[in-house]
């Protein structure tokens, strides 16, 4: 399909629709910001999983120590 713009023919897909430097900078900024946000969320997830496992392990160790004390008394 041939489009006429300003009296000149313009083919679709021609090089006139290249993004400007500002548009490229905006795309780069948004991409970088999104990746940093995702890394932050993932880091928070890893930290919470590690803390959860730590407290689970600690409570199971306390329970095992309690059982050892009670079995030693009998």
What pLDDT shows up at residue 55?
97
Q: Is the pLDDT at 9 greater than 90, yes or no?
A: no
Q: Is the pLDDT at 8 greater than 90, yes or no?
A: no
Distance CA 74, CA 30 (A): 67
Helix (H) or strand (E) holding 7: none
Rounded to whole angstroms, the maximal C-alpha distance in the chain is: 101
pTM: 0.60
Residue 10 CB coordination number (10 Å): 13
pLDDT of 13-59, one tens digit each? 555 688 899 999 999 999 999 999 999 999 999 999 999 999 999 99
Sign (positive or negative) of CA dihedral 48, 50, 55, 56: positive
What pLDDT shows up at residue 59?
94
What pLDDT shows up at residue 69?
86
Check if the beta carbon of residue 10 is closer than 8 Å to that of residue 16.
Answer: yes
């Amino acid at each position: 399909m041939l489009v006429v713009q300003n009296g000149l023919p313009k083919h679709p897909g021609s090089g006139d629709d290249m993004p400007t430097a500002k548009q490229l900078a905006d795309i780069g900024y948004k991409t970088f910001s999104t990746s940093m946000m995702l890394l932050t969320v993932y880091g928070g997830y890893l930290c919470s999983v590690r803390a959860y496992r730590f407290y689970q392990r600690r409570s199971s160790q306390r329970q095992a120590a309690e059982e050892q004390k009670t079995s030693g008394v009998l």
